[in-house]
Amino acid sequence: MSRLLDRNREIGAFVPQQDDDLIICRCEEITKGEIRRAVHEGMWTLTEVKRFLRAGMGLCQGQTCGRLVKGIVAKELGVRPSELEDTTARCPTRPVEMQVFGNEVHGHE
Amino acid sequence: MKRYELIVIGAGPAGLSAAVEAANAGMSVAVFDENARPGGQLFKQIHKFFGSKEHQAKIRGFRIGQQLLKQAEESGVEVHLNSVVMGIFDLGEITVQHGDGVCHYKGDSILIATGACENMVPFDGWTLPGVMGAGAAQTMMNLHGVQPGSRVLMVGSGNVGLVVSFQLLQAGVEVAAVIDAAPQIGGYGVHAAKLARIGVPFYLSHTIVKAEGTDHVTGAVIAQVDESFRPIAGTEKHLDVDTVCIAVGLSPMSQLARMAGCEMTEKGGAVPVVDEYGQTSIPGLFVAGDVGGIEEASSAMIGGRIAGAAAARRSGYLPEEEFREKASALKASLGQLHEGMFSPKNKGRRDLTVTDEGYLLSKTLLHHGYLSEEEVAGFPGAAPGKSAGIHPVIECTQNIPCNPCQDACRFGCIRVGDHMTALPAVAENARCVGCGMCVASCPGQAIFLVNDEEEAGTATVTLPYEFLPVPEKGAKGVALGRDGRVVCPAEVVEAKTAGFMDGTVLLTMRVPLEMSMKARFFKTGEGTK
Amino acid sequence: MRIQKHPILDRIQKGRQVTFSLDGKPMQGYEGEPIAAALLAAGVRVHRYTTKARQPRGIFCAIGRCTDCVMVVDGKPNVRTCVTPLKEGMRVQTQVGISAKKESDDHETI
């Protein structure tokens, strides 16, 4: 079984660190400590961390914090960042208002 | 829904180059870009590019951008600005948000050329107004004509950090320091030297600990780091700055490729797996430029052309034979850019000690941004014994793909050779006439003209000058050495330029004879900061 | 501060000078330039205060991706000022959470 899927694997206890109150997700104001704590509360994938904390769900949709969150979660799990599966990339790629999203323009300019 | 034979996502150097290539082969091409202006990062680059003539060497980035745009227009490429490609779906369909509505388009082939986004390094106070990406500083200065701040700390010494620092100086902004957690400067030595001779200090093995201020940045604290990059207590230094720029690398913006279901791999971020022409695991879906792996604009343009040609071949516009020939030539050109000290295969290496030719790489250059006088004399561009009369002194000491100096001299005084990563050398019997073409042509601003006036006990030094105000003839001031320290009094003999120098001024100053190999920059007045 | 003369770049083409308001105060800028450019030129660095911790934010990426520079523009919140062109008479307000800053900003409800 892959290391990541084995939820019984020991990753150690949560150890408070000096920079735990550093803001990582700027849009939702989520700190490094909150992200690290979430891993110890059982959120072992980027998707789970995202839905649990809203890190990456703010206005910028993870454009700024994505790589940072990945690094922090990977470190906490003791794996390389590239081993973690990215959160799903979905349409729309940038924030768009619902009234615009629903306004299909037929034909072309 | 409108159908195009090629849809290009991103109007940066890769995207536009691909579009032009494909359109010239006969394809109907549309380019979509989320920005109000095309050109991606190209229009923010005001320095002269490296490479060789075929790579547009010694041409400023934004002019290359203007050329590309013109070509796109002439080839009949449709460029849609303020158009966000929101999603990419099966069978070549994309949805684009433009203004108040959403439109669907279909492409027989699609090229994703969305580029990269800046990496971040969080620190105490990094959310304060005044802390911004280096790209943001560039955008405000070069696109909007507004200074990002008045005194900047640059975090990161790769080419972006070095280039943007110089641009800040050109925009009239002070640069308090360039720092990097790594033990050596990450970008080209010549870019660092441009900053060092003006007096910008480099702090390697340093990181930013805090940005101070309540509503905005009013200062910064940096500290030395140990081998594990952890700040060492007691080494904190305070800097008076109102702006902190972050230049710690780029990551590919590959969301659309992932959305499309491409097979991905890791290359400084998630990038699609591609064949030699940029086609992903999805037939008809290509990538080019930084989104496929971070390099720079010159490689992006060639990569774009290769992908554009591949799309043309796929749609039957380019016969197989012609395509292979074209692709082969382009790949050879791209290969030339992939050589030298900073080549992709050397990325992250800190153990290089000698140049290809066997010259010792300057440690002071790597750690402080400047060469020592002794080191300069040891390189083929500045060897002593050739100094009768006016002659060029080329302070180019790292193997980078670049050779405009060779073409610049009509009299063959400068030789790089067939491999453009070779260090330039001044010819044995150089008949220098002091025209200064080499000085103006060097993208690294690393060439100087030196004329020892033995009898008068003085010497003149001609240097490239790209600041305002331009010192006038007769202006009295001081000469700065390579490390930015005042070395002697100096007087301006001449300040001249010509149209083709595109803004570079040849500034000639007179200094005491013994200073001719020390004096490398001019400051009016007493030069106190 | 605006760059009056640049050693390399040609003078950047700007639209006509227009007046807009920032939190009710009259300001000047050039039509068509990003609102953020006009604000930065005028020395304004704080665009908003965050929802949770009421921390100040301003320009960060300057190309419309990070959304830190958003403000309330003509009554609409979350407008990215670094990519939104300035228009004559625009009402720009410092955003607090997702509302405009009020005179008495004690207990903002989101």
Domain total of chain A: 1
Query: Does a structural domain hold residue C12?
Result: no
Q: What are phi and psi of C37, to 5 degrees?
A: -65, -45
In the numeric block, the tokens 């939702």 are attached to: A28
Instruction: Say yes or no to pLDDT of B370 above 50.
Output: yes
Mutation pick from C60, C67, C78, C81 vs chain A, by most beta carbons of A within 10 Å, is C67
| CA separation for the pair B493, B519 (Å, rounded) | 14
Size of interface B-C (CB pairs under 8 A): 101
CATH number at residue A71: 1.10.10
Distance, CA of B318 to chain centre: 33
- Tens digits of per-residue pLDDT, B230-243? 999 999 999 999 99
Query: Does a structural domain hold residue A6?
Result: no
What is the average pLDDT across B320-326? 96
Query: Does a structural domain hold residue A4?
Result: no
Topology of domain B120-246, CATH: FAD/NAD(P)-binding domain (3.50.50)
Query: Does a structural domain hold residue C110?
Result: no
Q: Which domain holds residue C78?
A: 17-100
**One-character DSSP codes across A15-72:** ---TTTT-EEETTTTEEHHHHHHHHHTT--SHHHHHHHH-TT-STTTTTTTHHHHHHH
Give C-chain residues touching B117 at CB under 8 angstroms.
61, 65
Task: Locate the chain C residue with the closest alpha carbon to B36.
Answer: C83
C58 touches chain B (CB under 8 A): yes
| CA separation for the pair B155, B130 (Å, rounded) | 13
Instruction: Say yes or no to pLDDT of B290 above 50.
Output: yes
Give C-chain residues touching A63 at CB under 8 angstroms.
65-66
- Tens digits of per-residue pLDDT, C19-56? 999 999 999 999 999 999 999 999 999 999 999 999 99
C17 touches chain A (CB under 8 A): no
Q: Which domain holds residue A61?
A: 23-101
Domain boundaries, chain B: 2-117+250-337, 120-246, 375-524
Query: Does a structural domain hold residue C58?
Result: yes
Give C-chain residues touching A95 at CB under 8 angstroms.
67, 78
Do residues B98 and B83 lie in contact, with contact meaning Cβ atoms separated by under 8 Å?
A: yes
CATH number at residue C46: 3.10.20.440
- Tens digits of per-residue pLDDT, B371-416? 999 899 889 998 655 556 899 999 999 999 999 999 999 999 999 9
**pTM given for the model:** 0.95
Q: What is the CATH number of domain B2-117+250-337?
A: 3.50.50.60
pLDDT the model gives residue B481: 97
Query: Does a structural domain hold residue C42?
Result: yes
Which SS3 state, helix, strand or coil, does residue B505 take? strand
Angle at which helix A46-53 crosses helix A32-40, to 10 degrees, equals 120
Query: Does a structural domain hold residue C109?
Result: no
| CA separation for the pair B426, B437 (Å, rounded) | 14
Query: Does a structural domain hold residue C44?
Result: yes
Query: Does a structural domain hold residue C95?
Result: yes
| CA separation for the pair B432, B517 (Å, rounded) | 17
**One-character DSSP codes across B14-72:** HHHHHHHHHHHTT--EEEE-SSSSSSTTGGG--SBP-B-GGGTTTSBHHHHHHHHHHHH
End-to-end C-alpha distance for chain B, whole angstroms: 61
Domain total of chain C: 1
Query: Does a structural domain hold residue C4?
Result: no
Neighbouring chains to B with at least 3 Cβ pairs closer than 8 Å: A, C
